[in-house]
């Protein structure tokens, strides 16, 4: 999008530069910072395995605070799931249990979220990025939410 917008000549240069700065800041810069933040835990883990970082470097009270965030995150995830369960189509007990277990994978999904963008940045740096963009065909979506459920 940014490359296409850079080549356009139908915009005022001052407005175009302001939009390009905003797109750069809100796009690439934020993603790079996010990717760097995602890399911090595995780097610290690897450094601690090699003996370069002591696991006790964090004060005990901060360690307890960080560990409590895990309970808050998991608790909120399941709170939202069970709160809106009544609006979802009933798919039977085995599928509900499967969904509850799958929710435990959300932190892993969040950790892997930047991988496609990272791959795109590497391709662009190697000048191997796609030259044209084509939209992928989408399958018909099946509605999972029933809007007729009574509110309590």
Tell me whether residue 139 is in a domain: no
Domain around 117: 2-125
Tell me whether residue 63 is in a domain: yes
Tell me whether residue 92 is in a domain: yes
Residue 140: the pLDDT is 65
DSSP designation for 129: S
Residue 12: the pLDDT is 86
Residue 7: the pLDDT is 82
How many angstroms separate the CA atoms of 107 and 112, rounded? 9
Side-chain-side CA neighbours of residue 117 (13 Å): 14
Tell me whether residue 57 is in a domain: yes
Exposure string over 114-134, b if 16+ CB within 10 A, otherwise e = beeeeeebeeeeeeeeeeeee
What is the full per-residue pLDDT of the chain (152 aa) written as tens digits? Answer: 677 778 888 888 898 889 889 988 888 888 788 777 777 878 888 888 888 887 676 788 887 887 888 888 889 999 999 999 999 888 899 999 999 999 988 877 877 777 777 787 788 889 888 777 776 777 666 565 555 555 44
How many angstroms separate the CA atoms of 149 and 87, rounded? 6
Helix (H, G, I), strand (E, B) or coil at 88: strand
Tell me whether residue 16 is in a domain: yes
Tell me whether residue 87 is in a domain: yes
Task: Provide the number of structural domains found in the chain.
Answer: 1
Residue 43: the pLDDT is 83
Tell me whether residue 17 is in a domain: yes
Reported pTM: 0.45
Tell me whether residue 86 is in a domain: yes
């Amino acid at each position: 999008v940014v490359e296409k917008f850079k080549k356009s000549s139908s915009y005022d240069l001052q407005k175009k530069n302001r939009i390009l700065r905003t797109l750069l800041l809100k796009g690439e810069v934020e993603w790079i910072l996010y990717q760097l933040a995602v890399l911090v835990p595995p780097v610290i883990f690897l450094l601690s395995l090699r003996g370069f970082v002591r696991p006790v470097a964090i004060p005990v009270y901060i360690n307890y605070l960080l560990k409590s965030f895990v309970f808050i995150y998991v608790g909120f995830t399941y709170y939202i799931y069970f709160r809106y369960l009544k609006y979802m189509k009933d798919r039977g007990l085995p599928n509900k249990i499967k969904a509850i277990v799958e929710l435990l994978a959300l932190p892993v999904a969040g950790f892997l979220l930047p991988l496609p963008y990272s791959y795109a940045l590497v391709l662009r740096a190697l000048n191997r990025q796609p030259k044209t963009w084509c939209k992928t065909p989408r399958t018909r979506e099946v509605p999972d939410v029933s809007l007729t459920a009574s509110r309590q």
